[in-house]
Amino acid sequence: MYAIIRTGGKQYKVQAGDVVQVDKLEQALGAEFEINEVLMVGGESTAVGQPLVKGAKVTVVVTKQAKTRKEIVFKKKRRQGYRKFATHKQEFTELFVKAISFDGKTAKSDEAATVVDVKAVRAEKAQARVAARKERAANKGTAEVVKKAAKKVAKKKVAKKAVKKTGTKFHLGNNVKMGRDYTIYSVVEGLVKFERFSKERFKVSVYPKAV
């Protein structure tokens, strides 16, 4: 069984168990009431109202009182410099169709109405955000200490890499010196010798010629 109801100047086709959004009604959250403005009832037999169906009623439960998503309203007139920008949220009431009654017959929903308190949900989310903010603030000091320690370790690693990169295989031996550009030069005339003192490193020495 289905019914076509009228509320807020609009018509809605509903069945038992349906959830429908209508223009805001001054009803308390969780309230149960009857809609008597039934224009048509269909099912095994059809009854059309003139304008209403006598004896027909739809029992509904208010499950939510909220607003729609923000809609942008923009108006513009060409070549006149006219621009208007606004936003709008439409208030609505969500109804759960509990039963449809007509001619001694009643179609009931097998499911129960789920009532949602939007304000309570928003308050819980706000409390959760505040608690998370406080937790982050409490852990901020610990996080900064960890970051500083990590930076120190990273600097040490970079320094070690720099030492390895700037290292040389040739070191100063006898009668030689090193310039600012790491050039090794001799201070006497003689014979140049490369003397190994480790696996990959050598000493550069210059020995004077025997007279």
Domain with 193 in it: what CATH number? 2.40.50.100
Where does a domain end: 67, 88, 123? 123
CB atoms < 10 A from the CB of 35, how many? Answer: 21
The pLDDT assigned to 172 comes to 87
Instruction: Output Rg (C-alpha) for the chain, integer angstroms.
Output: 43
pLDDT of residue 211: 46
Q: How many independent structural domains does the chain possess?
A: 2
Give a yes or no: residue 144 inside a domain. no
pTM: predicted TM-score of the whole model, two decimal places: 0.60
Residue 129 falls within a domain, yes or no? no
22 lies in some domain: yes
Are 110 and 36 within one domain?
A: yes
Is 183 found in the same domain as 112? no
Evaluate whether residue 149 is within a structural domain: no
Token pair 């200490």 in the structure block, residue:
145
User: Does one domain contain both 7 and 82?
Assistant: yes
Region for 140 from its dihedrals, namely left if φ exceeds 0, alpha if ψ lies in -120 to 50, beta otherwise: alpha
Q: Is residue 134 part of a domain?
A: no
- Residue 148's pLDDT is 75
pLDDT beneath 70: ranges in the chain: 140-143, 145-146, 153, 155-167, 210-211
pLDDT attached to residue 28:
95
Same domain, 40 and 105: yes
Instruction: Give domain status of residue 184, yes or no.
Output: yes
> What is the C-alpha to C-alpha distance for residues 189 and 208, in angstroms, rounded to an integer?
6
Of 18, 16, 19, 20, residue with least CA distance to 8: 20
Domain boundary among the residues 71, 93, 123 is at: 123
Whether residues 88 and 181 fall in one domain: no
Dihedral of CA 193/196/197/200: which sign?
positive
Q: Which residue segment(s) compose the domain that 85 sits in?
A: 2-123
In a domain, 176, yes or no: yes
What phi and psi, each to the nearest 5 degrees, are found at residue 194? -105, 115
Both 104 and 194 in one domain: the answer is no
| 141 assigned to some structural domain | no
Q: Which of 123, 154, 187 is the last residue of a domain?
A: 123
Residues 73, 175 within the same domain: no
